Amino acid sequence: MKIVKRIVIVLLVIVLLGGIGGFFYFKNKFMGAGPNELTLSNLGEPFDFVWGSSKFNGKEEPNAFMFVPVTIPGVDRTFHMQFDTGAPSTVLFYETVQSINEKYGDIFQLDTIDNQLLVTDVSMKVGTVHLEANKIFFRGRSNKIDWSDSTSIIKIGSIGSDFMEKHPLVMDYKNQKITLAESVPADIEEKADFLPFTFDGRKVFLSAKLNNEPASLWYDSGSSAFELIVEESTFLELAKPGAERETFVGNSWGKGVTVHNIASNGVFEFGSVSVPLTYVTYMEWPNKLQAFIIKASNIGGDLGGMTGNKLFLGKTLVLDAPNLRYTVIE
């Protein structure tokens, strides 16, 4: 498929230009999905998710993060994990796991494999879904749990795209509900206008149209604050004539990133559903290879970029990974 050819071309270019270091950066960023360790059951029941807010350029973004509730056998408190389809694997935070073990007594079994600390024989409930895993790795940073605070959301990790690899996922943004199903619900199957997507390395690339031109969109539910992130030339192409760009410094994994936003009058077409593109974003990545990969991933002529939840607010997004198809429903 086109996206596979595109990835192969970029990989060859990076190996030629950047050598082994470039190869491993690319492999971890785009193709770094290890074995799926999850076993999921009790499917088909919707469960709620909640939004987390954040500030960007002094403005409050109420839909910055998606969090799903998590319960653990033997623990009398509900936790949350970020729902992040941009991450190929589900991960946990060491500090919060350590806090739970200190309070409740070795709820999580820790082990070391190939010099990596991880949790083995995991059992928990994500919303209504029963999740078991042979092992889950630690990734990211957090703080020890303040057990005296009974109201705050306690984040213990992220649910990755391994959660949806073997089952259709229904994301009802309007009602803030997620359903992981054995098959696409009959009412959706009957009326849906399905389009193809690719899932290489457990990364979701949606095929759509933008201004009547083919567009490949890397969908990342962990990136909610912006409608569409693109490289610079596409940013200029999609800018509304006469619009002034807004520039500020954001944060990416602890590093400052210069962010440019500008108004756009673009229109996405997801089958029969049209969604306006009101503004577009370009970021000056501190890692030049990262910027090069985003630009080079557009090889093939499609308008390409990264999108998150903002385009789909008020709608339903169905990702049927086993059949490599998706649909957007009003």
31-52 confidence digits (pLDDT tens):
457 899 999 999 999 999 999 9
Burial of 60 (0-12, 13-18, 19+ CB in 10 A): exposed
Q: How far apart are CA 317 and CA 309, in angstroms?
A: 9
Model pLDDT, residue 305: 86
| Percent of the chain surpassing pLDDT 70 | 83
pLDDT at 312 over 70: yes
Q: Domains of the chain, with CATH numbers?
A: 38-164 (2.40.70), 182-329 (2.40.70.10)
CA 103 from chain centre, in angstroms, equals 31
List pLDDT tens digits, range 181-224: 999 999 999 989 999 999 999 999 999 999 999 998 999 998 77
Tell me which DSSP letter residue 316 carries. Answer: E
Phi, psi of 60 (to 5 degrees): -80, 125
List pLDDT tens digits, range 41-81: 999 999 999 999 888 777 888 888 999 999 999 999 999 99
